Amino acid sequence: MSTGHHEASWRLPESDPSYRSTDIAYLQRLAQTAERGHLDSIFFADGPALFRDVGRRPSGTLEPTVVLAAIAAVTSRIGLIATASTTYNDPYNLARRFASVDHISGGRAGWNIVTTAHLEAARNFGRDDLPSHRSRYERAAEFIDVALKLWDSWEDDVEIGDKEAGVWGDPARIHPPEHVGEHFRVAGALTTPRSPQAYPLLVQAGSSDDGKDLAARYAEAVFTAQQTLDDALAFATDLKRRAVEWGRDPAGLLVLPGIVPVIGATEAEARAKEEELDRLIRPEYARAQLAKTLRVDPDDLPLDRELPADLPSEDEIEGAKSRYTLIVELARRERLTVRQLIGRLGGGRGHRTFSGTAEQVADAIQEWWDAGAADGFNIMPAVLPSGLEDFVDQVVPVLVDRGLFRREYTGTTLRDHYGLARPAHPHDRTGGRDIGRVATTTSTTHQGAHA
């Protein structure tokens, strides 16, 4: 929702809720603001289904790869990350689209790989049921394998361009995947030459056991929702250990927890903003959604009581496992009532919310950075565009002064911003992937739909 990540942000006097998510000029300006702050990227969440809450909050999203192409045309450095589902796409079409965005943007594309946990999506693609969690992740792994083969189906230097002889390219430098697998059979090479980054930065955003394994195997960056420093540290440690098990350099896998900042001139002002936002949540809708996530009846969730004692275990959840566990643990740990829990989820949908001055927000970021719990952060302002402007104009300078963030862009591609090397073509590889060290706090601004 483009009026901000807080679900009630559209009800503030400053917000214009008229289809902002479909207003490309608005989205382009947000990206330009993020670029002014030298953030690494702008990120769009996504899912191929409309949720039944148009009554409750601004709905309506555009398909993010085309949005990013339009943003690419009016920006020059900022990375462009779109979410796309491996469950409801074909590898040939999707690999091609991301390669195209990478060409169009001069190497700024990223793909947030998700398996899509919603039954509503399944029902838009010929199914009555949600495919099982396990099968979605199995398909995701094969999907990425195929996509990588497609992105490597052209060597970097196919073109010969011999006008005299009438020979344009060298067919020997084209390598059709001829992939035959459990979920996919894809014979031919991509239509699209190898792109500036070779392929989009691979981002992953599922935190279940299977999700973490997928990330450890393929991802270069992971978006994650973590409420406490301890949890974030445990998550990062676990993920990097798994990456090592997959034979990877853990420095090539960046962990980027979300943070929902509410910035005020004083701490009291920031808190008052956050309280106003929470007051504007309509609890009956939020409770219905919570009941669906927890698989209980809404009547079993009285607003001023804690969660019921007998809830399903994560094993029984076929949808978004890690989100389920995060919600239950948050409520139990802080002994939140349903109303309080709804406030926390409405603000950051499971992500860490933080209200304070710009200095305090910078402290909150630095604390996790210094502890090694984060390689960067996904900045999800509660209110947009003002929250992003505040972050760029007030928090970024503090981080720069502390030597934690870049003063200027030093590279041109998204992997440059993250300190990662361009993947070599398999035919040119001398060893494993050459992955640089990350020296700065990286920041992203998160846009869009239903996480």
Ligand X SMILES: Cc1cc2nc3c(=O)[nH]c(=O)nc-3n(C[C@H](O)[C@H](O)[C@H](O)COP(=O)(O)O)c2cc1C
Residues from 281 through 320 that contact a second copy (CB under 8 A)? 282
Residue closer to a second copy by CB (options 88, 223) is 88
Q: How many residues bind ligand X (CB under 6 A)?
A: 25
CB of 90 to a second copy, least distance (A): 6
When asked if residue 41 is in the footprint of ligand X (CB under 6 A), the reply is: no
- Whether residue 302 has a cis bond before it, omega within 30° of 0: no
54 binds a second copy (CB under 8 A): yes
* d(C-alpha 349, C-alpha 330), whole Å: 12
Q: Any contact of residue 321 with ligand X (CB under 6 A)?
A: yes
Q: Is 157 among the residues that bind a second copy (CB under 8 A)?
A: no
21 contact partners, CB below 8 Å, separation of at least 6: 1, 2, 27, 58, 60, 61, 62, 448, 449
* CB-based contact 416:40 (threshold 8 Å): no
According to CB under 8 A, which residues from 215 to 254 bind a second copy? none
Helices (H), ranges, 153-256: 209-218, 229-245
Binding part of the chain for ligand X, among 8-16, 223-231, 305-313, 432-440 by CB under 6 A, reads 223-231
**Site residues for ligand X, window 141-200 (CB under 6 A)?**
none
Span of 47-55, 132-140, 224-232, 292-300 interacting with a second copy by CB under 8 A: 47-55
Q: How far is the CB of 74 from a second copy (least distance, A)?
A: 6
CA distances from 329 to 311, 325, 346 (A): 11, 6, 16
Interacting residues with ligand X between 90 and 149 (CB under 6 A): 114, 116-117
Pairing of strands 221-224, 201-204: parallel
CA distances from 244 to 25, 216, 254, 264, 357 (A): 43, 8, 13, 41, 38
List, in order, residues 6 or more apart from 335 with CB less than 8 Å away.
306
CB of 314 to ligand X, least distance (A): 9
Minimum separation from the CB atom of position 174 to ligand X (A)? 21
Contacts (Cβ under 8 Å, ≥6 apart) of 249 = 243, 432, 433, 435
For residue 6 the two structure tokens come to 């807080």
- From the list ligand X, a second copy, none, pick the one residue 320 interacts with, judged by a Cβ distance below 5 to 8 Å according to partner type: ligand X
- Which residues lie near ligand X (CB under 6 A)? 45-47, 83, 114, 116-117, 205-208, 210-211, 223-225, 258, 320-323, 378, 446, 449, 451
